[in-house]
Amino acid sequence: MYLEVPDSQEKIIVFRAYHIAVEANLAKTKLDAYGIPCFLSGENFGNLYPISNDVFPGVRLHLFEVDSAQATEILKDETES
């Protein structure tokens, strides 16, 4: 399976930050299932030190800015619970 690579000029943003790496991985898996390219950063540090502050905002979910509205819609049910 090959993903279509968007134009290199598109901006990558930090869409959300999670305190728990498992929650970040669940969100990433859900977005992957809908075909939205995304990746996580800070996962290893977040597993070792499960804290969140100004220096380390947690496990970050990155995606293309153009996909943010669709990602918000897909993940909206996880924020409502």
- What lies within 8 Å, CB to CB, of 52 at 6+ separation is 17, 19, 58
pLDDT digits (tens, 9 = 90+) for 39-80: 999 887 766 666 666 667 789 999 999 999 999 999 997 655
Q: Hey, where are the domains in the chain?
A: 12-80
Q: What's residue 69's pLDDT? A: 96
CATH code matching the domain that covers 12-80, chosen among 2.20.25, 3.30.70, 3.20.20, 3.30.420: 3.30.70
Average pLDDT along the chain: 84
pTM: 0.78
pLDDT digits (tens, 9 = 90+) for 11-44: 999 999 998 889 999 999 999 999 999 999 988 7
